[in-house]
């Protein structure tokens, strides 16, 4: 089967891929909603979430669900990166 190192490398790769895909999707979804974004800041953790929170506040909507989901995805990516670095040494 697979050894633990292979599984951790797969975890790292998938978590990075999911983070990138969801960030791109979230960026284009916000643009379709008419939210003005600075492209060069779209990769900075927390920027799009702050803009989304402001947009939700102006629309009278709750932003907590998306912000929690994106925070969990980012935390997963960070944890996978730490494990990947520890396995590399």
- Is residue 17 scored above 80 in pLDDT? yes
Q: How does residue 5 score in pLDDT terms, banded at 50, 70 and 90?
A: confident
pLDDT digits (tens, 9 = 90+) for 43-77: 899 999 999 999 999 999 999 999 999 999 999 99
Distances (CA, A) of 27 to 7, 37, 43, 75: 30, 8, 9, 19
Of the chain, the percentage scoring pLDDT greater than 90 comes to 81
Look at residues 57, 33, 32, 52 and name the one whose alpha carbon lies nearest to residue 42. 52
- Is residue 1 scored above 70 in pLDDT? no
- Is residue 89 scored above 90 in pLDDT? no
- Sequence spans of domains, the chain: 4-81
Q: How far apart are the first and last CA of the chain?
A: 23
- Cα angle vertex 74, ends 69, 79, to 5°? 125
């Amino acid at each position: 089967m697979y050894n633990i190192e292979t599984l951790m490398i797969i975890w790292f790769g998938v978590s990075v891929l999911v983070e990138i895909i969801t960030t791109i999707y979230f960026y284009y979804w916000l643009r379709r909603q008419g939210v003005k974004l600075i492209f060069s800041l779209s990769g900075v953790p927390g920027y799009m979430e702050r803009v989304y929170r402001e947009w939700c506040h102006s629309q009278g909507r709750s932003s907590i669900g998306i912000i929690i989901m994106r925070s969990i995805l980012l935390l997963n990516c960070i944890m996978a990166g730490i494990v990947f670095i520890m396995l590399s040494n």
